[in-house]
Structure formats: structure tokens, C-alpha cells
Structure 1
Amino acid sequence: STITQQVVKNVLLSPERTFERKAREVLLARRIEQDLSKDEILELYLNHIYFGHGRYGVEEASRYYFGKGVSDLDLAEAALIAGLAKGPNIYSPRVDEARAMRRRNLVLTQMAQKGFASRRAVEEALKAPIVLAPAVETMPTLAPEAVAEAKRVLAEVVGDKARLGGYTVTTTIDPALQAAGRKAIRENLDAYLARHGWVAPLRKPKKGGLPPYRGKPDKPGHHVYHAEVIGHDDAGHALKIRVGDVEGTVSVESARYNPKRLEASRFAELGVVLRVSPIREGPKDPAGLPLRYRLELGPQSALVAIDPRTRQIVALVGGYEAVVGGLDRASRAKRQPGSTFKPIVYSYGIHKRAFTPASIVPGVKGRTPPPAKKGEPPPEAPPLRVREAVARSVNPAAEWALETVGAEGVVAWAKELGVESHLEPTKSLALGAYEMRPRELANVYATFAAGGIHEGATLISEIRGPDGAVIALPPQAARRRVLDDSEAFVVTSLLTSVISGGTGQRAKSLGLPIAGKTGTSNEAKDAWFAGYSPEMTCVVWTGFDDAVPLGRAEQGATAALPAWIDFMKAAHAGHAVTPWPEPPGVVTIDIDPRSGLLPYTGQEDPVGEVFLRGTEPEEAAPSPEDEAVDLYEEEPGAEPEDDGETRPAGADDPSDSEPRPPGSTAPTPPRTPAGPGDTPVVPPF
């Protein structure tokens, strides 16, 4: 298409490919050529086209690459900027300086041939090195995910006028936290690759390996293909590959997979099958299929961080690479949450007073204690309390909790907490079998962190038009209370046990009041950690885009938690964090860890437990001596002797009071609180 048609497409029309749009493009191009001069059309073109790294327009590109306005560029610099228009992601000097110089020199040579510059000036420009301004990471390169959403929301509220420019969109992203999130994700994924050895040089396995893709690589959207290496281009730092019916190239310059900067011929042998995905912008074959691909050897990751006090999204990382137009896995990808869904089930049970943290899970045993003496058989495993079940992520306990409160109720409850994805009221719901986005899950946990108040998470804080007027944003979910503050406190208390003595113990190193939950989906295809402090909620997901297993020994605690820890360390650096205050509707009392009841007289190993006021136990656990009497001293059918203790009125008559949840009775006076952020209320496991 002509430059005039490009102006029409970029400024006046949408980029869709239809016959109707093409016809309108031709008609409008003729009208523009009648009303505007060639120089005016060229000015429009240069002020709107893309120059790479999130920069649109020649003035912005000039300031990004050379740190000065376009009117101050010399001939060599101007030629480099002009050469970017054909393929900014290919010819960017920040991506490939040698290729950028070849492109610049081609432009200079043509300028001399066509009389736009003297041969002497061109000869001097050809000798000039490329000297770039220091790279300053701005929003398009720091948070392309936020930029993509800003464009989407702007188009939603102003329509086609967004293409004319002049609008200012303000996001809630904190640049320092965004950088910390990207760094945490990258270092975690690099550590995964080191564990599994998926870095160059790559050899063809003697047997097995990935089968190459057959057919046309024409699947829409982001898709991973198995490509066979068929050649090497050391000069271009690329592998020649075959993806089904199409041949293409893939760069080997990624430091993620090529930390030693090996040449293409040393990076991978001929015949090796690699995981790749197409780069949609760039050269295409005659059928319109991409010819350039990116490596997808290892898994990807996503991170979402929300300030629970304001519900502002302060960090949004959609993958390892900060690529404009890349897949934002944090906002778009749906994956199985695994055990990170369990707190939704347990929180509903707490809300409904169906059980307490001290309730015994029927038919499920706790961890078997070690034998008293070497050579002796271990003692019988004790019953399992709800708190231990949450800390250790015991699946049968979560299924019992779901059955206790009802799956349909949990589905409705999840919607109240902010889950938008489709859920089914089945048994597998308890184990997180239904997919959702990391961003959804993050706002659920932000509701727990905010004391039970749900609110829509925001990424766009303000839009102003070309005239400076504020433009109304799309409506968000209204602020409302889902759990009362006491219920949220008990849920948070349960999740602190994951940190103090469960699957998330590694996070204890932070020394912060934190709560959270690990998650691993079936066959370890997804690894999660979702957690929060009073000031910050963060969710991290790790997995392959095509949902292949992460591999042996990979789970939420190994493939996601390290990134979560690194981010939370950065988010809380330099200041103290105040623990959650205990609401008046909560009491903390000692219980017997084996029964969940009150301690027996003289018990030496009680533990503190948190209850909603009115659900704490009033019955004492039997002492070991009492159990011995029950087992060995009573005659069959003998009447037990009166122990002389006064029982609460009606305690022996179930018809005398309202039904209560398991382990709950009338309130008892509270003692010194020991809830979230304080001394762990469970013994070490």
C-alpha cells in the first residue's frame, strides 16, 4: 500500500482485513491526496507509525534512541530512524546493532543515489558509529501489559477517536515494583532452566524427544509449535527451522536460553526439535504465515500485585519478556489454580459456621509422629484438624469441606469473592480443577487481606482527553463486604499456618506478617503461590503455555514461591509492617491439639487457636488417665461414676439448644491474642 493508504489505515480506519475496509481505504486515500500536499501526508505518516520499543512517531523515536529531537539529528542518525519503519523489531539498534547498521547504510546509499544527500556527506555518515542514548525504561518497555490495557480501555471509552492521539492515560503501576516483579519472574524462570538443563548447547536425544509439528502453523493467537532445526546462520545469530510446512528462523540471542552467547551452529544440532512461537509482526511467507519465531524452551510465568487497601494493581507481569503486543498471562491466560482455590472453600465454611480451625476432619489422619524409641513402631497418627489440613494442603480434607458446605454454595461464594471464570459445582472444585486468570485469584486474596471487603481491582486511574478534560472510566465492581472482619481474620489465621508450618515455610525468611497458599495442578502443569501481607497481595503462576508438565519435583513451593518471596521482599523493603489487628468478634483460647477440644486439667502441650466468638469449644478433652480407665477398668455395661464436675445446663441434651458447628459451643473469655502476624498458633509439624 502507498504512504497515503498507510496514513488512512493508521489514523482513520481500523487495521482489520476486509474488502469493505480496503475499499474505504482507497476512497479516503484519494480524498486526502486532493486536500493535502505530499509533505503534509508524509508528516502525518511519520508522526503515527511505530518505531519499536513502544515508541510511536518520529519525534518520540528520536528522543528514545538518541536523546534529542528529530530536528537535531545528523544524517546518519536520521537514516537509522528512517530505516526502522520497515521492521522496528528487526532493525532496532537496541536489539541487533549490526543489522541496524546494515539497514542504515542501505538508506544512506539510496539517499546518495536519488540525490537526497551529497556523496561526500553520505560517505562521512557511513563511517559514523551508532551512539545511542542511555536506555531509560519507560512504561511501554517496563510494563507493556499495562500499556496494552490502557489502549484497550481508551478504545472502549472513546472509540475510534483514540487513533487520533492526544489522550493521556494514567495507570496505577508502580515502576519500582513493576521492575521488581519482572526481575523476580525472570530469576525464578532462569533457576528453573538451570534445574532442568534447558540452556545451550542443545543436543539431539538418542531416543525420544519432541515430535516435530506437521501441517500449517496457522493457529490464531499465541501458540507453541515443535520446530526442527534444519540449518544455522551464524552471521545472523539465528537457527533455520521447519515448522510444519513452513521454513523460518529463530534468534539464538536470548540470554535466557543462551547465557554463554554461543553461535547458532553451537547452540543446537541439526535435527533438534525446539519449542517456538510465531512473531506476528515481521516477514511472512506467500501464504501470509510468519517466518520469524521466538524460542519457547522453558515455561512462562505471571505476577499480579494489588494493594489491598486501595485495590490498585501496582505490578502486572505477563511473562519473561517485556514485549509490546506479547501475551499477558496475568490478565488473559486461564489456568487451573490447584490448591490455591482451597481457601475459597474453607472461607465459606468459616463464614457459614460449618466448622472451625479446630474441627476434626472425619476419616483423615494427621501426620504420624516419630516413635518414642528407636526400633519401636510409630504411634498411631492423630486426628487431623482443619488448621493442619490447610497448612499441609491435604486434598481429602478440602473435599470434606466442600461436601460439608455444598459445592453450589461454594460456586456462588467464589463469585462473591471476585471469581469471574466459569465454575461447576463438582467434587473437583475443591482441588482447583476449573481454570481462572491470575488476576482474578489475586483479587480474591486481596479481599481476604482487606478484612473481607471486595472491590474491583483497578489498573487505569484516569484518562484525560486532548483538551485536558477527565473522561469517565468503565464501571468497576462496587465496594462491598463479603466476609465480616472477624471471619476474614480467622481465614488469614489459617493461611498463616501455611507459612509457619506448612507448604510455604520457605517464606518465613521474610520475617513479615504474611499469609498464603501454594498450588499445584494435576501433573504439575501449573505451579502457584498466592499470598498477602496487610499492605500487599501478590499471586505468581508458572507453567508452560501449552500446559505440558513442569517436571519432576516441581510444585508451587519450588516453581512459584521463590518469585513471590523476592517480590514481597522488595515491596516491603525499608519499613516495618503492622500485623493484622484482632477484631472484637474473635477469641483465642488454648485447645488440645489431638481433639480440638479444651485442654484437660494439667495438660502440658496445649496450643492456641482462633475462633469466631461463639464457636469455641466448651468441652474438655479426656486426659490420658481417663482414656486408660475407659479402656481397661470399666466392666461391660457398668455405669460410669459421677466425676463431681458441674456441666453447663443443657450440655447433655442436644434438643436444649440450637445446632452448632463441629467443635463449637458457648463463648469463653479470651486470652492474649495469637492470630495473624503474631506467634504461630499451631505447633511445628
Structure 2
Amino acid sequence: MLLALKIERDLSKEEILELYINKIYLGKRAYGIEAAAQVYYGKSIKDLDLAQLAMIAGLPQAPSAANPINNPRRAIDRRNYVLARMRTLDKISAEEFDKAARAPVTARYHGPISEVEAPYIAEMVRRDIVERFGEDAYTAGYNVYTTVDGKRQQAANKALQSGLLTYDRAHGYRKPKPIVGISMLTVADDPALKEWLGKANPSFDIDWPESLDIWDDHLRNLDSRGIISPAIVSRVAEDGIWYYDGSDERWLPFSAMEWAKPYVDVNIIGNPVSKPAEVVSAGDEIWVEDTGNGPLLAQLPEVEGALVSLNPKDGGIQALVGGFSYGSTKFNRVIQADRQPGSSFKPFIYSSALANGYTPASIINDAPVVFEDKSLENTWRPENHSGKFYGPTRLRQALYKSQNLVSIRILKQVGPRKAVNFITPFGFPREKLNPDLSLALGASAVTPMELATGYSVLANGGYSVQPYLISRIEDDEGNILFSADPAIVCKDCEQQDAEEEDTDSPQADVDTIDGVATAESLIDDADPALNIAPRVMDARVNYLMVSMLRDVVRLGTGKRALALKRADIAGKTGTTNDQKDAWFSGFSPDLVTTVWVGFDQPVTLGRWAYGSNTALPIWVDYMETALQGVPEHPFEQPEGIVSARIDPATGLLAAPGQENAMFEYFREENVPKEMVKPASAETDSDHDGQQEVIPEQLF
């Protein structure tokens, strides 16, 4: 009030109006009449003719619903109303009125055309540029080039939104929100509204009833959220509903809303619905999904998610979606949400075990255990999700079955602190990794970006790369102000360096623990001028780990990824306690992608929600498009890896002629020396009904 009085005192009416019309929203992201002139007509306001000026003057009432691009018919009505008022006030002649009122719509969109929606990316870029250049970032006309792939970003948007909507539908329909002033409005109260609603197919030949402006005002504050858009129920019929979307009344058949059983809680939904009136009422705010095959009733999901996709060869961000809708919340879950990764962290625990002498054939007892761990402050009795115990289990088998007790036992043997030292160079902040046994189950919270960065090491053969987004910045004259110089994976460079090394040089400078090299000792002293990514994991250890993760897809919790029909896919699911987080991180040699699903305030996703059926379908949907046209690239087998026939029950060398023998990969120095005894060789082992074949065929 005080500000209004001050403005009234200091400015004339004309000056106040000038301020207003230069700030008011006029649709299509245009604020002010000059911006509107540029957006709709591609020229200055001073160059517009009378019809065009009247068109812009008619926009303030409903800039989204009645602009000449979204709804030309209604825009003409508004334009002609303005012209009529000008004629009544004798501001224009009768001849000018007739000419302008008959003028066709000449508006076309002249604003920037975005190839793909990437608001989370845009905000990351904005922050970076402001940090580099200060407030000049907004006015200096910089051109910023990113690593994002448009096709992949579009696929990521669609995959995440579709996946979250699928989860949301499976848990029932929450009561829609009635619009204040509309649900209370009876048709009899407004003859114009009655006439409009009474038409089966409104043509807008009649004057637009003023009551509908309330709807427009409401919808204007509810922008579309990707593949879903807001609408208001105008009529409810026996076989469907009519809804108003800001430009027209449209039909939604009951078959497109039949899924909407009432939400009870995260684990329970109500009885099936038999008619539209059981779902919505006239005046309700609803959301409609564009499926490509007709509209579908939707709702803004309460569940959230994130997807990030990296090039494992240099860390370039290929796609990033920080949530269901940037319009709902600006919180970027890819880089800001620390969540427990659950079993999707196990590959790093297993990698540390393989680096410390374990093999995929090592036998670990999957049996009940009680830990008195001082760092955990109490007695801990971990168990597998199934509640079952499987006894002696090969390491490979334990990973694809995601057996918790095996992970805990190998971490205890390796040592939590030693494991943290090994894992940190993968891209995880050391302070986030708790050096206790809970690390084995992914209890240390990390961001989706950090997890994807860690998986990049597995995908690229053992090298550390750092995510980056901006590849180049130019000024308004094309001068390069910044050019990224990311560390890149160069296996040929490493091989060349190895050939040039003096093989007789002493090894005293290599850090070892119990005779096994630590991750720190594996980091290459690469030539800084070349900016070669440092190796943080032995190539052979990496290969063994990847081969085990490929079995997660072939035999384990990642089976849904087989839908891609590619042999160069590996990954791991993750589900945390009480199903509060669902993950899938997977990769090919060319692309790493991590998907997370959960609620912002950690609560259960439901008793049947797991990484395998909640996050993995989103990953598959995205990767199906992201890998189109990308040839399959087999993971390269490094020197020093051999295969040997083993007994599946003991992990020892198989006896001659043993029928249930299988092939397994080993580092050449870790091949079992002992052969299984005949009695053990006769023991039938759990093969999950799969025929074991040699690794080269298996993988």
C-alpha cells in the first residue's frame, strides 16, 4: 500500500501505465508490449499496423489462452473488441475500424525455438556463467555450447516422466482439486456459460463468456509439465468427460480414465471405478497426458526421480533430468540429492575385493551373522531381502542375486577403511563414505551424479573421468573465451607409456597392502599436457567386475535390460531399506546412465517397489533411444585374463569329465591350484536353470 502511494505521488498516470505495459506478461514468454511485438510479429511495436496493435492490446486478459498463436479465433474476438472500443471512443475512423476488423491474423512465433527442453541443464549453465563472468553473463551475449546430446536429452525427459507417471498410476488416483469459484458455479447462473457448455463441439463463433476467464487465469498459472498438461473438467458424461485446456473443449473417453482407482495408501488402492462421475466432477482441475495415441487422465506425481547419462570416455554429460518437472521444483536431484544407493553400490565393494585377491569363483558363506561393530554403536543382524540364506556361494552368483551377507563378509575381510581408500578415486567424496560395514549395503548417501561417475570407471576400463557440461564459451563476436579440456581415456597412450618404461626398474615406489596394489598406486602419472585420464583400477580387475555385472543383466535382478537385445550391457539394481530408494546404474562401453526414483522426503515407495521394476524400466526406455545407431562394442579382454573350468559348488578346478563344470574368468595368477575332490564334483549346484557355457559365449 505504501509503495502504491509512493508511485502515485511520484509518477503520472501515463508513466504508471507505461511501466505496466512494459512489464506485463503477454504470452509466449513475452513480457511487455515491445517484447510481444517481437515475439508475435518479428518487429518493433512502432512498426505494427492497427490490427496488430489491437491484437496485442487484447492480450492482457488471457495471454496464454487468447493469443493469436494458441487460439487465433479467440484472439480475433479480443482484437475486434479492442477495435470496437477504439471506434466508440472515436480514436479511429469507421474506415480504419472496418479494415482492421477484417484483417487476417499475421502473427507467427518469432521467439527462440528450443530444440529440446532441458531446464535443469540451463540452470546449471546459468550458475556457471554467472560465477565466471558475474552480472555481465546476462547482458554480454555469450554463446555457450554444452556436451548435451539433443536426442538423448529428449529421450531422458520422456523416459523419466513416463516412468514416474507409470508408478503413480499403479498406486491409484488422488482426489482431484476443485477450482474455487467454478465448482460452485451452476449453469443456470450464467446463460452464456450454459450456451457454451451445451455445444457438443464449441466453435467459438459466439462471444467468449467472461466466466471462462476464471478458468484461463487458473490454467495460466499451471504450465504444462512435459508430457502432461493442466485442464478443467467442463462436463461429465456417462462414457467420458469434456475438459477445457485453455483453448478448446476436448473429449476424454472413460477408457482413458478407467485406471483411476482411488488411492488409499502407498500399498493399497480402492475398488475399480465404473463411470467417470466416480473419478471427477465438473470444475475439477485435472492433468492430461499426451501419450501419442490419444489423451490419458493423469495427475502430478508426488514421487520424484532423476536421470543422468555420461560419456565414460571423458565425462561429458549427455543428458540430465533433475526431477519430474522443473516447473514444480527447481531442486536438481542429480547433483543435489544425497540418497543411499543400496545394492547399486555393491560393485565398488566387489571391485575392492577382486583387487585384493578374491576371484569371481571365491566361495563366501551366505549365512546368518551378528556383528558387534563399535562404529555402528549397536549389535547388527543383517539379512538378505528375501529373508533366506543360501549357504556357500560363489562371488559372481552372490552379486547377480544381490546377497547382502556376502557383501558384508567380503568388506569385513578387505577392511572398510581399505575399501574406502580404493573406492574414493572413482569419484566419491571421501567424507561421504562411512568406513564401517554398512558401506557394503550402500548406506552411505551419494548423489546420482556421483554414482554415475563411479560407474564410468567400470564402463571405460578403469579410468577416472570427471563430469563436465560446458564445452565452449564464445563472446558475441565468436571469440572463444573458454574451451573445456577434460581428461580423456586413452588406452593406446597407456600402452605406449608401458612400452617405454624400464621393466627392470625397482618397484619400491608402488604402494601395496598385503602385497596388493592400492588404488592410489594405480593412478597414472600421465603427461599433464595430454590430459589423459588416470587409471584407478587394474584393467583385469575391471574386466572381471564388468563380466559379473553383465551376469546381473543376464541372470539376475537386471533382466529387464535384456529388452535392449544388446550383448554390451551391464549394470546393477539398488533398493534401500523399506523401499525408500530405487536405483539402476548401467552402461555400455559408450554410455553410462544412472536412474533414481524416490520421494524427496524419504518414505517408502511401497512394498513391491524395487530398483528392478521401478528404476530399471526408465533406464531401458531411455537407453533404447540413446543407443540407437550405436554399434555394439564388446568389452575388451585385457592381457593376463584366462578362463578355467571350475566346480560351481566349491570354486575349485573341475575334475576331468565333470558334467556340471563351468568356465570362469581369472587373473592368471589367481587361477585355483586345487582340483575338486570326486565327492564334491558330484554335488549338483544351483545354476538358476541356466546352461553354463564358456565365458566367451556367455558374455
Shorter-chain TM band: 0.5 to 0.7
Q: Does 1:558 align with 2:613?
A: yes
Q: Write the mapping of 1:365-376 to structure 2, written as runs, cut at 5 A.
A: none
Distance 1:55 1:460 in 2: 28
Task: Give the SS at the match of 1:419.
Answer: coil
Q: Write the mapping of 1:437-586 to structure 2, written as runs, cut at 5 A.
A: 437-472=447-482, 479-512=533-566, 513-586=568-641
Maintained 8 Å contact 1:232/1:239: no
The alpha carbon displacement at 1:268 in A equals 5.5
Residue number in structure 2 paired with 1:660: none
- Match for residue 335 of structure 1 among 332, 339, 364: 339
Structure 2 letter corresponding to 1:361: I
Distance 1:101 1:457 in 2: 50
Maintained 8 Å contact 1:140/1:147: no
Distance 1:111 1:408 in 2: 80
The alpha carbon displacement at 1:533 in A equals 0.6
Residue number in structure 1 paired with 2:137: 162
Distance 1:406 1:111 in 2: 83
- Match for residue 310 of structure 2 among 306, 312, 321: 306
Q: CA 1:348/1:599 → structure 2, altered by over 3 Å: closer, same or farther?
A: same
Residue number in structure 2 paired with 1:356: 359
Distance 2:56 2:421 in 1: 55
Residue number in structure 2 paired with 1:653: none
Residue number in structure 2 paired with 1:418: 427
Residue number in structure 2 paired with 1:395: 404
Distance 1:101 1:547 in 2: 50
- Which range moved further: 502-511 or 429-438? 429-438
Distance 2:57 2:694 in 1: 66
The alpha carbon displacement at 1:510 in A equals 1.4
Distance 1:423 1:155 in 2: 32
Structure 2 letter corresponding to 1:480: P
Structure 1 letter corresponding to 2:306: A
Distance 1:95 1:526 in 2: 40
Maintained 8 Å contact 2:575/2:610: yes
Write out per-residue CA displacement over residues 607-651 of structure 1, whole angstroms, 9 at most, x where no aligned residue: 2211222112111112227889xxxxxxxxxxxxxxxxxxxxxxx
The alpha carbon displacement at 1:59 in A equals 8.7
The alpha carbon displacement at 1:197 in A equals 2.3
Residue number in structure 2 paired with 1:291: none
Q: CA 1:395/1:104 → structure 2, altered by over 3 Å: closer, same or farther?
A: farther
- Match for residue 436 of structure 1 among 436, 446, 449: 446
- RMSD (CA atoms): 4.8
The alpha carbon displacement at 1:422 in A equals 2.1
Residue number in structure 2 paired with 1:385: 394
Maintained 8 Å contact 2:140/2:475: no
Q: Write the mapping of 1:595-674 to structure 2, written as runs, cut at 5 A.
A: 595-624=650-679
Distance 2:24 2:474 in 1: 22
Residue number in structure 2 paired with 1:408: 417
Maintained 8 Å contact 1:54/1:140: no
The alpha carbon displacement at 1:238 in A equals 6.5
Distance 2:664 2:146 in 1: 42
Q: CA 1:547/1:101 → structure 2, altered by over 3 Å: closer, same or farther?
A: farther
The alpha carbon displacement at 1:325 in A equals 7.7
Q: CA 1:674/1:181 → structure 2, altered by over 3 Å: closer, same or farther?
A: farther
Maintained 8 Å contact 1:350/1:356: yes
Distance 2:143 2:65 in 1: 29
Structure 1 letter corresponding to 2:654: P
Distance 2:124 2:221 in 1: 28
The alpha carbon displacement at 1:130 in A equals 7.1
Write out per-residue CA displacement over residues 285-322 of structure 1, whole angstroms, 9 at most, x where no aligned residue: xxxxxxxxx97433122111111123211111222336
Q: Write the mapping of 1:66-81 to structure 2, written as runs, cut at 5 A.
A: 66=40, 68-69=42-43
Q: Does 1:181 align with 2:156?
A: yes
Structure 2 letter corresponding to 1:186: Q
Task: Give the SS at the match of 1:330.
Answer: helix
Structure 2 letter corresponding to 1:383: P
Distance 1:82 1:173 in 2: 40
Structure 2 letter corresponding to 1:359: S
- TM-score normalised to structure 1 length: 0.65
Maintained 8 Å contact 2:578/2:607: no
Q: Write the mapping of 1:135-214 to structure 2, written as runs, cut at 5 A.
A: 138-139=113-114, 142-198=117-173, 202=175
The alpha carbon displacement at 1:597 in A equals 0.9
The alpha carbon displacement at 1:548 in A equals 2.7
Distance 1:151 1:441 in 2: 24
Distance 1:126 1:599 in 2: 92
- Which range moved further: 99-108 or 485-494? 99-108
Task: Give the SS at the match of 1:472.
Answer: strand
The alpha carbon displacement at 1:466 in A equals 3.0
Structure 1 letter corresponding to 2:139: L
Distance 1:108 1:165 in 2: 40
Structure 1 letter corresponding to 2:337: A
Q: CA 1:50/1:249 → structure 2, altered by over 3 Å: closer, same or farther?
A: closer
Maintained 8 Å contact 2:553/2:569: yes
Residue number in structure 1 paired with 2:271: none
Distance 2:322 2:53 in 1: 34
Residue number in structure 2 paired with 1:680: 698
Task: Give the SS at the match of 2:585.
Answer: strand
Q: CA 1:617/1:625 → structure 2, altered by over 3 Å: closer, same or farther?
A: closer
The alpha carbon displacement at 1:87 in A equals 11
Residue number in structure 1 paired with 2:372: none
Identity over aligned residues, as a percent? 33
Distance 2:223 2:141 in 1: 39
- Match for residue 323 of structure 2 among 298, 319, 322: 319
Note the residue ranges of structure 2 that are not aligned, 5 or more in a row.
186-211, 232-240, 246-275, 288-297, 369-388, 488-530, 684-692
Structure 2 letter corresponding to 1:462: R
Q: CA 1:427/1:322 → structure 2, altered by over 3 Å: closer, same or farther?
A: same
Maintained 8 Å contact 2:645/2:661: yes
Write out per-residue CA displacement over residues 559-590 of structure 1, whole angstroms, 9 at most, x where no aligned residue: 11111112211122234312111100211212
The alpha carbon displacement at 1:516 in A equals 0.1
Q: CA 1:402/1:169 → structure 2, altered by over 3 Å: closer, same or farther?
A: same
Structure 1 letter corresponding to 2:408: E
Distance 1:566 1:135 in 2: 34
Task: Give the SS at the match of 1:557.
Answer: helix
The alpha carbon displacement at 1:462 in A equals 0.5
The alpha carbon displacement at 1:385 in A equals 1.2
Residue number in structure 2 paired with 1:377: none
Q: CA 1:238/1:52 → structure 2, altered by over 3 Å: closer, same or farther?
A: closer
Structure 2 letter corresponding to 1:148: E
The alpha carbon displacement at 1:141 in A equals 5.2
Distance 2:89 2:411 in 1: 76
The alpha carbon displacement at 1:414 in A equals 3.3
Distance 1:337 1:125 in 2: 64
Maintained 8 Å contact 1:198/1:298: no
Distance 1:86 1:136 in 2: 21
The alpha carbon displacement at 1:522 in A equals 1.9
- Which range moved further: 412-421 or 86-95? 86-95
Task: Give the SS at the match of 1:311.
Answer: coil
The alpha carbon displacement at 1:409 in A equals 2.7
Q: CA 1:549/1:126 → structure 2, altered by over 3 Å: closer, same or farther?
A: farther
